[in-house]
Amino acid sequence: MSDQQYELTIGWLYPKLMSTYGDRGNVICIERRSQWRGYDVKVLPLDQSATVTDIRSVDVIVGGGAQDRQQEIVMRDLQGAKAEAIREKIENGTPGVFTCGSPQLLGHYYEPAFGQRIEGLGILDLVSVHPGENVRRCIGNLVIEVTATRLARDLEEMTGSKPYLIGFENHGGRTKLGKVEALGRVAYGLGNNGEDGTEGAFYQNAIATYSHGPLLPKNPFVADWLIQTALRLKYQQPITLSSLDDPLAIQAREAMFKRLKVNVPTLVQ
């Protein structure tokens, strides 16, 4: 099968309620990088009107950040068969990128600064708690060294360099991981909780992170990993993506690492 015949459906979780700090850029990045390779791409909003069949039909999932109130609205909708369908997708290896408020909802629970605990889907073994309105939010640039074993290996294989991700965090909630593997180690910024040096989580093929950025345009090789993983799962073939020219993204990464004085062994190209 030639490149042109691949079809990819991006499932976008609650676009109107969950897309803070440019997280929509992650959807656009996957869409464009697929189109530039000639694939046929569809973006399917997975919101209140989505059916279980819709959820089952997607090849890659994007979930953005949200304010506490919006997270509550989402979780009131994401119950029963819809919750099960998301769980099945993630457990079966559908790749996805989940930012900030999304991983909080994929974990066991999120306790906002005000109001009731919001029960999550419990797919990721983690809990998130907002320590109160008087405690400083975690805001600023974020650099992550990917340490999740399989993902780090795949990204290194794709790029020839040790994978470092650059992004931006803005969250009140602090996340503690249970048995789930961290996405990486904080090289700059605060990450999951500002204490244990962990950032995000990696489970099956789900990337959970506090990094907005948006993450994918700043780290296009992660978008390619998501696309490649989605296509391999869908077509059951060892598909390898053709490479794209990313001079601006590379320059932007170099500039940020320099500005933040983060020593990256070899720059990811």
**Catalytic residue set:** 100, 212
**Footprint on residues 39-68 left by ligand GLN (CB under 6 A):** 65-68
- Rounded Cα–Cα distance for residues 114 and 92 (Å): 35
**Minimum CB distance to ligand GLN, residue 181 (Å):** 21
**From the CB of residue 185, how many other CB atoms can be counted at a distance below 10 Å?**
15
Considering the complex, state which of residue 14 and residue 203 has its C-beta at the smaller distance from ligand GLN. 14
Q: Check residue 103 for interaction with ligand GLN (CB under 6 A).
A: no
Q: What are phi and psi of 62, to 5 degrees?
A: -125, 130
Among 86, 100, 165, 241, binds ligand GLN (CB under 6 A): 100
Q: How far is Cα of residue 162 from the mean position of the Cα atoms in its chain?
A: 19
Largest CA distance in the chain: 57
- Long-range own/partner contacts, residues 38-42 (CB < 8 A, 24 or more apart): 38/3, 38/4, 38/6, 39/3, 39/4, 39/6, 39/7, 39/8, 39/227, 40/5, 40/6, 40/7, 40/8, 41/7, 41/8, 41/9, 41/10, 42/7, 42/8, 42/9, 42/10
Give me the 158-177 binding string for ligand GLN, x by CB under 6 A, dash otherwise.
Answer: ------------xxxx----
**Minimum CB distance to ligand GLN, residue 172 (Å):** 4
Considering the complex, state which of residue 136 and residue 179 has its C-beta at the smaller distance from ligand GLN. 136
Closest-by-Cβ residue to ligand GLN is: 65
Among 20, 198, 205, 209, binds ligand GLN (CB under 6 A): 20
* Beta bridge partner(s), residue 7: 40
Applying CB under 6 A, the site for ligand GLN has a residue count of 13
Residues contributing to the site for ligand GLN (CB under 6 A): 20, 65-68, 71, 100-101, 130, 170-173
